[in-house]
C-alpha cells in the first residue's frame, strides 16, 4: 500500500507538471525535499538521544516496574481471559508502559513477547484471539504521553512553545484508546 | 547506580533511530514536495474543499489523516511538511502535531505483531485499529479547535 501511494505521488505530480508547465518547480522540489529530510533527522537526533538516554536511566532504576504495578488492575480488567499472574500479563504491562513514555523500540519486543504468550493461551491456533485484538487495539491507538519527535520538529521550525501540543495529544490519545476498547468490545460481544 | 552509562546506552538507541529513518524520510519528503510543487496537491485540495468546509475539517490535513495509519515515516514527513509550510504555531501546525502524536501506524503494528507470532486470521483487528484511528483523528480536530481555535 505504501509502495502504491509513493509511486502514485510521483506519477501524478509529473503528469500534472507536464500539462501545467510546473516542471521547473518540481525539479527544485526534489532537491529541497531531500535536503529538508536530512535537516529534520539532524533536528530529531539531539532530542531523541537525550530523551531515550533519560528514559534508560528511569528503566534501569526500576521506575517503569513500579509504574506497571499501578496499571495492573486496569490491565486485568482489559484482558479478562488472561490469568493475572500469567507471564502474558507482565509483557502486556511492560508494552503499555513503554508506549506511554514514547519508547517505541522497547514497546515492540514486549508486545511481540505478549503475543507469543497469548498464542500459547489460545492453544497455538493461528487465528487472532480476543485478547490479541485488544492488545493490538491498544497499540494502534498509541498511549503516548510525550510525543518526542513531534516536539523536536516543532523546535526545529521555531515554535514559541514546542510542548504546547502535549495536552491536546493526550486528550486525543485517551479518546482513541477508549474508542479502540469500546469498538473492540462491541465486535467481541457478537 | 550507573546513571551516566545508562544515559549513554539509551542515547545510542536514539542515535540509531534518527539515522535509520533518513532514507525513509528522504523518500517520502521528496514525494510530498514534488506533489505540492507540481500544483497537484492544490488541485486535489480545491476539489475537496467545499464538502470538508461544511463539516469544519481543514483540507490541508486530509493527506496526513489518510497516510497516518499506513506509514509512520510517511506521516512524519507529512507532519513536517505541514509545520514547515504553515508554521508550528498555526492552527494547522498544531493540528498536525496532535494527529501525529496521538495515533500509531496501524498497518505496521498489525504486520509486526501478528507476523512475528504467525497469526494468519486477524479477526477484527484491522477493523478495530482503523476505526480507532478515525476516532483519534476526529478527537484531534475537536480538541485542537477547542483549545487553540
Whether B54 has a pLDDT exceeding 60, the answer reads: yes
Say whether residue A92 is in contact with chain B using an 8 A CB cutoff: no
pLDDT tens-digit map of B1-15: 889 999 999 899 888
- Tell me what pLDDT residue B4 has: 95
- Residues in chain B with CB shorter than 8 Å from the CB of A44 are 18, 21
Which residue carries 516543532 as its cell?
Answer: A154
pLDDT tens-digit map of A107-145: 888 899 999 999 999 988 888 888 998 898 888 877 777
Burial of B19: CB neighbours in 10 Å, binned 0-12, 13-18, 19+: middle
- Residues in chain A with CB shorter than 8 Å from the CB of B75 are none
- Tell me what pLDDT residue A40 has: 87
CA distance B144 to B130: 21
| Domain ranges within chain A, ordered by starting residue | 45-189
- Interface contact flag, A168 B30, Cβ < 8 Å: no
pLDDT tens-digit map of B95-124: 999 999 888 888 888 888 888 888 888 878
pLDDT tens-digit map of B63-95: 898 888 888 888 999 999 999 999 999 999 999
pLDDT tens-digit map of A25-51: 999 999 999 998 998 888 888 888 988
- Tell me what pLDDT residue B53 has: 84
C-alpha cell, A98: 513503554
Amino acid at each position: 500500500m505504501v509502495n502504491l501511494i509513493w509511486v502514485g505521488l510521483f506519477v501524478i505530480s509529473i503528469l500534472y507538471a507536464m500539462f501545467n508547465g510546473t516542471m521547473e518547480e518540481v525539479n527544485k522540489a526534489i532537491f529541497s525535499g531531500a535536503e529538508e529530510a536530512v535537516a529534520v533527522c539532524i533536528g530529531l537526533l539531539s532530542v531523541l538521544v537525550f530523551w531515550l538516554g533519560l528514559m534508560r536511566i528511569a528503566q534501569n532504576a526500576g521506575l517503569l516496574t513500579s509504574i506497571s504495578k499501578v496499571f495492573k488492575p486496569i490491565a486485568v480488567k482489559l484482558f479478562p481471559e488472561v490469568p493475572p499472574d500469567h507471564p502474558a500479563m507482565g509483557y502486556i504491562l511492560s508494552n503499555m508502559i513503554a508506549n506511554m513514555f514514547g519508547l517505541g523500540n522497547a514497546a515492540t519486543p514486549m508486545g511481540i513477547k505478549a503475543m507469543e504468550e497469548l498464542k500459547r493461551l489460545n492453544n497455538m491456533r493461528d487465528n487472532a484471539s480476543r485478547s490479541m485484538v485488544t492488545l493490538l487495539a491498544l497499540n494502534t491507538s498509541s498511549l503516548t504521553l510525550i510525543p518526542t519527535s513531534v516536539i523536536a520538529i516543532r523546535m526545529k521550525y521555531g515554535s514559541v512553545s514546542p510542548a504546547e501540543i502535549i495536552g491536546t495529544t493526550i486528550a486525543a490519545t485517551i479518546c482513541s484508546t477508549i474508542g479502540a476498547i469500546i469498538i473492540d468490545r462491541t465486535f467481541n460481544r457478537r | 547506580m550507573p546513571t551516566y552509562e545508562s544515559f549513554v546506552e539509551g542515547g545510542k538507541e536514539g542515535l540509531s533511530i534518527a539515522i535509520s529513518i533518513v532514507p525513509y524520510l528522504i523518500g517520502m519528503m521528496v514525494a510530498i514536495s514534488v506533489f505540492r510543487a507540481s500544483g497537484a496537491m492544490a488541485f486535489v485540495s480545491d476539489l475537496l474543499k467545499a464538502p470538508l468546509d461544511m463539516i469544519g475539517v481543514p483540507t490541508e490535513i486530509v493527506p496526513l489523516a489518510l497516510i497516518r495509519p499506513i506509514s509512520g515515516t510517511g506521516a512524519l514527513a507529512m507532519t513536517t511538511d505541514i509545520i514547515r509550510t504553515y508554521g508550528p504555531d498555526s492552527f494547522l501546525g498544531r493540528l498536525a502535531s496532535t494527529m501525529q502524536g496521538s495515533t500509531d501506524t496501524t498497518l505496521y503494528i498489525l504486520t509486526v505483531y501478528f507476523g512475528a507470532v504467525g497469526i494468519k486470521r486477524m479477526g477484527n483487528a484491522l477493523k478495530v485499529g482503523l476505526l480507532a484511528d478515525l476516532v483519534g483523528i476526529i478527537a484531534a480536530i475537536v480538541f485542537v479547535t477547542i483549545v487553540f481555535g
